Chains A and B, each alone.
Chain A
Amino acid sequence: MNPKNTVAKSLLLLAVLVVPLMLNLFGFAFYLDLATRLSILAIAAVGLNLILGYGGMVSFGHAAYLGIGAYAVGIPAHHWLYGGMDMIASTNGFLQIALALFASALFAFLTGLVCLKVKGVYFIMITMAFAQMLYYLLVSISEYGGDDGLVIDTRSEFPLISLDDPVQMFLVSVLSLFLIMWGVRRIARSQFGMVLEGIKGNEARMISLGYNTFRYKLAAYVISGVICGFAGALLGNFTTFISPEMIDWARSGELMFMVILGGVATTMGPLLGAITFIVVEEVLSTITVYWHLPFGLMLIGIVLFVRGGLSSLLERGQKTDD
């Protein structure tokens, strides 16, 4: 990697951190919230990229983990306020996040045992099937609002920080994002990551080399789910609202698009994808209710003309500069 490239990427990260804070300072509080949402969804996209990008496992059901994480915040808070389920009734943030991570890991492990037996389009569809099952399960639990969803009355409580403060909420989200980007980058470059990419390229070969590929894939699948579950816990705190809608297949699709748009199997790709997706959506939808039209054309244009996603533009632009 050439140094100028690194500069560009560092500048981008700096901008993600600083621009929203500046805007907030000048009284545009809404853009701070937008950046918080962007950071949280970028975390989920980074998590998805681990299996989709590096591992070649295209999950069309990753919004399920966003939902699990959010419900893991909402359900304890709900019981804390309205009674019942004393075991989990709490507003303690550590407990809620632990619950979110554990529940996502469990869901990923159990569904992974089934999903990872199939490949390609079959994998896409079976991951979606599990997310849909969870969707309908949540719809049927009227205690947590069913179809209508549930307003979370109190956010997770932590010592020293308050998520009720939009600036702190943003900082927690964006710093988590950076940490997780760094973590996934480490994983991708570790021996584990190499094996994962090997499996993506040629699984039979990795098996003949003596790797238990199923275990590697399952481990990656669970890590990816846990990252998205964490994003979900943040999302629940951010929107203070949970509903089965969070798990809808269209949301899983959006996460997928963020990753593909930004460029699969790259560190910056998911972030770039999330930025593009959310900023363009925001800008277009304030201009016209027909914003899906230019948005759709943009997606088509990027697929047809920008191979390798937006992060390839970053690299390419860099090369012409040299």
Chain B
Amino acid sequence: MKKLLVSLLGGTLLATSSIAADVKIGFVTTLTTPAAVIGKDMENAVNLAIEHLGGKAGAHNLEVVFGDDGFAPDTGKQVTDRLVKQDNVDIVAGYIWSHVLLASRKSVLDAGKILISSNAGPSQMAGKLCDQNFFSASWQNDQTPMAMGEVLNKAGVKSLYIMAPNYAAGKDMVAGLERTFKGEVVGKDLTKWGADAQLDFSAELAKAKASGADGIFVFYPGAAAGAFTKQYHQAGLKDELPLYSVFTIDGISLPKLQAANFSGIVGSKVTQEWDPSLDNPTNQKFVSDFKAKFGTYPSFYAAQSYDTINMIAAAVEKVDGDMTNMDGLRAALKSADYDSVRGSYSYGSNNFPVQNFYLREVVVDGNGDWTTKVVDTVLTNHVDPHAADCQMN
């Protein structure tokens, strides 16, 4: 047994201590459970970014080590520890889920390494828990629903029913909407989330319908999106209770909804900081190459992951591969001096992007595929509401 133990351990040591690349990036995302559908999209985008860079940032080789968070905060923390301690990565990036990021942040920051979120933007990390070594390549959770709140005000929605999953981001999304929405919130349901998330919303939808609200606002990312929209459709609520959503109808759920021919969602509107139709050369190349390689439109998760890698590569090039030059790295990252697929943006005092938020509409493209296009700019150079709470040292 002892021999077995030793040889097993020895085996992994050999397997993982491969030839050292110049710069190692740890990328944590969800590769198992139904939420792996998001992780896969991000993994694809990361690999595409590396391919576009020719595997190099300037003269330095880039290597990405993926880690699976299993859609659970403790697993996410464990895999982060492994990336930091065992794989000895220089930068940790990724993170779809706010609660996973909150659980993992200390592991990276205590080791004195740079942490970049490619999606999650929990309010705490934009405010009290902000850190000079943490950067967001996405947004702060409150912002996208804040944009939606403005859209609702413009559309004259007076009363609203809200549904979101019961976890950090779900609460932020609701709070964000309530920041800008001027009407009345007549009902609110926070449903079970995680690996055994609630997927049958019959009880909640019946309540929403009975509430007599002018509309329903939801946030159901990933696998729950399809389930929710389908039940919304089956319950026949389209005219009675118009759907306003964030992070629900996206590049990941659309192909599935199209395959099931759920035409009710064509024409529905969502807010986002990015869209495949944004007209800049980086985005055009990203979207067309992604489509050519993987057969679908990239989701915003993919776009942000693609940006994450390019942002890192630009910073690595600036410090000439010297990953111990923390001041240089931080300054380079903060300058946001790279070609982002969302166009140019800047960083606020809390290292969250100051950027535009767009209203997008679900449309059918020239090939008959369902996608989104930008119809309006809702917020311009928007600073998140938690930046004021950030006392960066």
A interface with B by C-beta (< 8 Å) = 8, 11-12, 15, 19, 23, 28-31, 33, 139, 146-149, 151, 153, 239-241, 243, 245-246, 272, 275, 279-280, 282-283, 285-287, 289, 292, 314
Q: How far is the CB of B118 from chain A (nearest CB, A)?
A: 18
Q: How far is the CB of A280 from chain B (nearest CB, A)?
A: 8
Can you list 9 A-B contacts (CB < 8 A)?
A19-B6, A19-B9, A28-B86, A146-B166, A147-B99, A241-B103, A245-B74, A286-B16, A289-B68
Complex CA gap A243/B103 in Å reads 9
Complex CA gap A30/B16 in Å reads 12
B168 to chain A: which residues have CB within 8 Å?
148
In the complex, which residue of chain A has the Cβ closest to the Cβ of B76? A241
B12 close to A (CB within 8 Å): yes
In the complex, which residue of chain A has the Cβ closest to the Cβ of B97? A148
A285 to chain B: which residues have CB within 8 Å?
68
Complex CA gap A290/B166 in Å reads 28
B13 to chain A: which residues have CB within 8 Å?
23, 28, 31
Complex CA gap A246/B78 in Å reads 13
Q: Which of A15, A33, A245 contacts B6 (CB 8 A)?
A: A15
B82 to chain A: which residues have CB within 8 Å?
30
A280 to chain B: which residues have CB within 8 Å?
8
A245 to chain B: which residues have CB within 8 Å?
72-74, 194
Please encode chain B, from 191 to 218, with 1 for each CB lying within 8 Å of some chain A CB and 0 for all others: 0011000000000000000000000000
A287 to chain B: which residues have CB within 8 Å?
15
Q: How far is the CB of A304 from chain B (nearest CB, A)?
A: 20
Complex CA gap A310/B11 in Å reads 21
Q: How far is the CB of A313 from chain B (nearest CB, A)?
A: 8
* B77 in contact with A147 (CB, 8 Å): no
Complex CA gap A279/B1 in Å reads 12
Please encode chain B, from 267 to 297, with 1 for each CB lying within 8 Å of some chain A CB and 0 for all others: 0000000000000000000000000000000
B2 close to A (CB within 8 Å): yes
A28 to chain B: which residues have CB within 8 Å?
13, 86
B338 to chain A: which residues have CB within 8 Å?
none
Complex CA gap A292/B31 in Å reads 12
Please encode chain B, from 11 to 42, with 1 for each CB lying within 8 Å of some chain A CB and 0 for all others: 11101100000000000000110001000000
Please encode chain B, from 121 to 154, with 1 for each CB lying within 8 Å of some chain A CB and 0 for all others: 0000000000000000000000000000000000
A240 to chain B: which residues have CB within 8 Å?
106
B48 close to A (CB within 8 Å): no
* B2 in contact with A33 (CB, 8 Å): no
Q: Which of A12, A23, A272, A292 contacts B9 (CB 8 A)?
A: A23
Complex CA gap A12/B167 in Å reads 43
A153 to chain B: which residues have CB within 8 Å?
106
Complex CA gap A240/B81 in Å reads 12
Complex CA gap A63/B360 in Å reads 46
Q: Which of B8, B68, B73, B105 contacts A149 (CB 8 A)?
A: B73
* A246 in contact with B166 (CB, 8 Å): no
* B194 in contact with A29 (CB, 8 Å): no
Q: Which of A15, A23, A241 contacts B77 (CB 8 A)?
A: A241
* B16 in contact with A239 (CB, 8 Å): no
20 further contact pairs, Cβ within 8 A, besides A29-B86, A289-B68? A8-B1, A11-B2, A28-B13, A30-B82, A30-B85, A30-B86, A31-B13, A146-B167, A147-B99, A148-B102, A241-B73, A241-B74, A241-B77, A243-B99, A245-B72, A245-B73, A275-B1, A275-B5, A279-B8, A283-B11
B245 to chain A: which residues have CB within 8 Å?
none
Q: How far is the CB of B8 from chain A (nearest CB, A)?
A: 6
* A243 in contact with B73 (CB, 8 Å): yes
Q: How far is the CB of B129 from chain A (nearest CB, A)?
A: 9
Most chain A CB atoms below 10 A, which of B2, B16, B32? B2
In the complex, which residue of chain A has the Cβ closest to the Cβ of B68? A289
Q: Which of A33, A279, A289 contacts B32 (CB 8 A)?
A: A289
Q: Which of B2, B36, B167 contacts A147 (CB 8 A)?
A: B167
Complex CA gap A246/B74 in Å reads 8
Complex CA gap A149/B15 in Å reads 33
* B8 in contact with A33 (CB, 8 Å): no
Complex CA gap A285/B67 in Å reads 10
Complex CA gap A147/B171 in Å reads 11
* A151 in contact with B2 (CB, 8 Å): no
Complex CA gap A58/B310 in Å reads 53
In the complex, which residue of chain A has the Cβ closest to the Cβ of B98? A148
A33-B85 contact given A149-B99, A151-B106, CB 8 Å threshold: yes
In the complex, which residue of chain B has the Cβ closest to the Cβ of A28? B13
Complex CA gap A304/B77 in Å reads 35
Q: How far is the CB of B335 from chain A (nearest CB, A)?
A: 30
Complex CA gap A254/B381 in Å reads 49
Complex CA gap A40/B377 in Å reads 53
Q: Which of B296-348 contact A (CB under 8 A)?
A: none
In the complex, which residue of chain B has the Cβ closest to the Cβ of A314? B1
A241 to chain B: which residues have CB within 8 Å?
73-74, 77, 103
In the complex, which residue of chain A has the Cβ closest to the Cβ of B72? A245
Q: Would you list the 8 A-B pairs with minimal beta carbon distance, nearest first?
A: A30-B86, A148-B99, A30-B85, A15-B2, A289-B31, A148-B168, A149-B73, A147-B167
B15 to chain A: which residues have CB within 8 Å?
286-287
B167 to chain A: which residues have CB within 8 Å?
146-148
Most chain A CB atoms below 10 A, which of B9, B32, B81? B9
Q: How far is the CB of B37 from chain A (nearest CB, A)?
A: 13
